[in-house]
Amino acid sequence: MATGGTSALEWALARAVATLGSDGFPRIFASFLRQCAPFDNFIVLAYKGEGQPAALYREFTDPVVFHAMESEYLTAAYLLDPFHKAHLEQIPRGLYRLLDLAPDQFKRSSYYQAYYQKTTLIDEIAALGYSATGCTLTACLGTDVSSGRYFSRKAISTLRRYEPVIIALMERHWESISLDGRTPAADETNMLERLIDIAAHRRHVKLSRRQAQVALLILQGHSSPSIGLILGISPHTVKVFRKQLYAKCAVSSQVELFAMMMPLMAEASDADVLAG
């Protein structure tokens, strides 16, 4: 309870500072964030290189939001996630709304429809920081069907006001986090090579590097013009690669491509962990 003119939010912050480094910090940290912006679910994830991320802490109102976390997201779906892409690109520390980072056709992508819609997430904001061990940390606040609402302007404004504090707390508490077995590489070169190799061995589909790149970008939710900008080619050339890709994979839609690629991506991701 707030006393002497001190707000509940300030007391929550004080408790978070006092518990830094202890086992109780994540729960107190979440309580502080809830004072800033009431949420339905909360998760802290750590990424390193291309390897499978680790879930460090989570809270939820309805468990359905994290129902497929282990079985889908942490095994392969993370490779298509905007926050994972932000990690690979090592974007500046800060607060980011999911849809501000997402590709132009994210909500039309099979990844969104097969995974995100199943989580019932409505809105998501992440505080992104970096540990001393080279991991990317994301503390994700979400709203879902539990409340059926988006974050309010007031909530976002409060988060922005405490942004440096939120990130400093997160980085300090998890500064020594270690994800053994994850490669430190922060690009997609190794993943593409493994994906191409696994597609050839498991499905007898011989993809070129460009076709594999286009496949991942399609599944992430990029349109042909967006893919063209990323790869430095024309939208027409993207459509040619897309046609070749679908023909090689013997699929006729993004849904079928997603269904074919997900098991291959999961195997490529496992190879990354074991390679460490």
Please identify, among 173, 199, 233, the residue that sits at the C-terminal boundary of a domain.
173
Indicate whether 27 and 117 sit together in one domain.
yes
Q: Residues 39, 164: one domain?
A: yes
205 and 261 assigned to the same domain: yes
- Is there a single domain that holds both residue 58 and residue 149? yes
* Structure-block tokens of residue 104: 């132009």
Token code pair at residue 235: 């939208």
| 156 and 257 housed in the same domain | no
Distance between CA atoms of residues 41 and 180, nearest Å:
27
Q: Are residues 169 and 194 in the same domain?
A: no
The CATH number that applies at residue 240 is 1.10.10.10
Task: Summarize the confidence of residues 166-189 as an average pLDDT.
Answer: 77
Say if residue 188's pLDDT is above 80.
no
Evaluate whether residue 184 is within a structural domain.
no
- In this prediction, residues 57-81 reach a mean pLDDT of 95
What is d(CA 251, CA 137) in angstroms, rounded to the nearest whole number?
Answer: 36
Range of the domain at 45: 8-173
159 and 241, same domain (yes or no): no
The reply to whether 113 and 212 lie within a common domain is no
Count how many domains the chain has. Answer: 2
Residues 160 and 218 in one domain: no
54 and 107 inside one domain? yes
Any domain includes 180: no
pLDDT range class, residue 182, cuts 50, 70, 90: low
Same domain membership, residue 195 and residue 167? no
Q: What is the pTM of this model?
A: 0.89
Last residue of a domain, one of 173, 197, 228: 173
User: Which residues contact residue 65 at a Cβ distance below 8 angstroms, ignoring those fewer than 6 apart?
Assistant: 40, 41, 119, 120, 121, 142, 144, 146
Q: Would you call 143 helix, strand, or coil by DSSP?
A: strand
Which one of 173, 206, 235 terminates a domain? 173
pLDDT category of residue 178 using cuts at 50, 70 and 90: confident
- At 247-263, the pLDDT tens digits run 999 999 999 999 999 99
